[in-house]
Amino acid sequence: MAESQVTYAGNLAKYTNLDQKGKIIAEYIWIDSEGNTRSKSRTLDEQEYKPEDLPVWNFDGSSTGQAPGDNSDVYLKPVAVFPDPFRLGKNILVLSDCWNADGTPNKYNYRHEAAKLMEAHAEHEPWFGLEQEYTLLDLNDRPYGWPKNGYPAPQGPYYCGVGAGKVVQRDIVEAHYRACLYAGIKISGTNAEVMPAQWEFQVGPCLGIEMGDHLWIGRFLLNRIAEEFGAKVSVHPKPIPGDWNGAGLHSNFSSKEMRVEGGMKAIEAAIEKLGKRHQEHIAVYGEDNEKRLTGRHETGAIDQFSYGVANRGASIRIPRECAAKGYGYFEDRRPASNADPYQITGIIMETIYGAAE
């Protein structure tokens, strides 16, 4: 679409197509201490940028819980660049990881370790596909469409639902899908979830470190778009206690060896290794995950490792189609919706292939 065809609602519309006079706006995006994205903008000369061409920047880490007040500068090192679906034109989104003034990675920089693991085991060509579940809340933290007092009718009609009373805020989901495609995020699909006001988008297959990068930009875009609609995005793994499904970040994985005929051997060997490090995985699979992994509502119990073909009540599921073919991928169903994709993909690599050094 030509830039001049783009229309915006409200007063902003008068300004968005103004000539930028040879400059672009770069939106630097990073991950804070709470697992939210933050961002700020700067002007750069108009040109094509790769991460290594972009200036290192900084922010006040004492305002984000990422550094003490007396040594507050945290550095932003660009790691991936995407076209900006909001500003269009040559404007860009710049995903950055966080570094301390002494040259060490910031405490909340989980990308750095994951990238080392991906590099060390690159010959296995690891593919990931993550399923991000989330809940849309109003500004009073109530899920959209839920009565002010009381609850909606029990779960059943909402999953992949169509029609009023079954799904809410579809425009946010659709806008997010389009924005991801524009930005080059490898979004693979989306669906309404089992709990009303809950949705999911999938990203993948992505190679190695790209998984975390694309999922984080996907999260950024979702929050940024929901902001325009006055909606909050919750990634709490059990937003509503009781007989309501929680929210996960199912993590699908395959290696080069798993994707070819006879690959089930490699899948089974990997699952055996995963079973031996269950607690280590749970430790990085998100906070409050014990409220979700109860063994009910399509989950496996948090203190028990299990796996099975087509079993949605297990820790690990081998899709029916893969079992039938004898190769493909497996799904780790344990990660919570608020987990960090760098931590998930990193520990999967470490458990299956060993430490980076």
Where on the chain is the footprint of ligand ADP (CB under 6 A)? 127-129, 131, 188-189, 202, 204-205, 250, 252-254, 259, 328-329, 331
Kindly tell me which of 159 and 353 has the beta carbon lying closer to Mn ion. Answer: 159
- Compute the least distance from the CB of residue 258 to ligand ADP, in Å: 7
Distance CA 205, CA 200 (A): 16
Kindly tell me which of 193 and 350 has the beta carbon lying closer to ligand ADP. Answer: 193
Kindly tell me which of 129 and 161 has the beta carbon lying closer to ligand ADP. Answer: 129
The secondary structure of residue 66, as a DSSP letter, is S
- Compute the least distance from the CB of residue 201 to ligand ADP, in Å: 9
Contacts with Mn ion, 127-156, as mask; x by CB under 5 A: ----x-------------------------
Distance CA 300, CA 314 (A): 5
Assess 332 for contact with Mn ion (CB under 5 A). Answer: no
Contacts with Mn ion, 83-122, as mask; x by CB under 5 A: ----------------------------------------
103-110 CB contacts, 8 Å cutoff, 24+ apart? 106/61, 106/66, 106/67, 106/74, 107/33, 107/66, 108/31, 108/32, 108/33, 108/66, 109/31, 110/31, 110/212, 110/340, 110/342, 110/343, 110/346
Q: How many CB atoms lie within 10 A of CB 213?
A: 23
Distance of CA 204 to the CA centre of its chain: 11
Residue 299 binding target from Mn ion, ligand ADP, none, CB below 5 to 8 Å by type: none
Distance CA 124, CA 120 (A): 10
Kindly tell me which of 27 and 131 has the beta carbon lying closer to Mn ion. Answer: 131
What do you get for the CA distance between the two ends of the chain, in Å?
47
Kindly tell me which of 71 and 104 has the beta carbon lying closer to Mn ion. Answer: 71
**Residue with CB nearest Mn ion?**
250
Distance CA 246, CA 39 (A): 28
Residue 129 binding target from Mn ion, ligand ADP, none, CB below 5 to 8 Å by type: ligand ADP
| SS3 letters across 206-224 | EECCHHHHHHHHHHHHHHH
Kindly tell me which of 109 and 251 has the beta carbon lying closer to Mn ion. Answer: 251
Size of the site for Mn ion (CB under 5 A): 3
Question: For helices 111-120 and 341-353, what crossing angle results, to 10°?
Answer: 30
Options 93-101, 126-134, 146-154, 343-351: segment touching Mn ion (CB under 5 A): 126-134
Region of residue 204 (phi > 0: left; psi between -120 and 50: alpha; otherwise: beta): left
Distance CA 56, CA 77 (A): 5
- Compute the least distance from the CB of residue 346 to ligand ADP, in Å: 16
Kindly tell me which of 131 and 340 has the beta carbon lying closer to ligand ADP. Answer: 131
Residue 142 binding target from ligand ADP, Mn ion, none, CB below 5 to 8 Å by type: none
| DSSP E strands, 244-310 | 249-254, 307-309
Give the gyration radius of the chain's Cα atoms. 21
- Compute the least distance from the CB of residue 193 to Mn ion, in Å: 6
Distance CA 347, CA 341 (A): 10
**Residue with CB nearest ligand ADP?**
129
Structure tokens at 281: 């995985």
Kindly tell me which of 13 and 160 has the beta carbon lying closer to Mn ion. Answer: 160
Kindly tell me which of 72 and 188 has the beta carbon lying closer to ligand ADP. Answer: 188
Residues 243-282 that bind Mn ion (CB under 5 A): 250
Residue 259 binding target from ligand ADP, Mn ion, none, CB below 5 to 8 Å by type: ligand ADP
- Compute the least distance from the CB of residue 355 to ligand ADP, in Å: 22
Binding site for Mn ion (CB under 5 A): 131, 200, 250
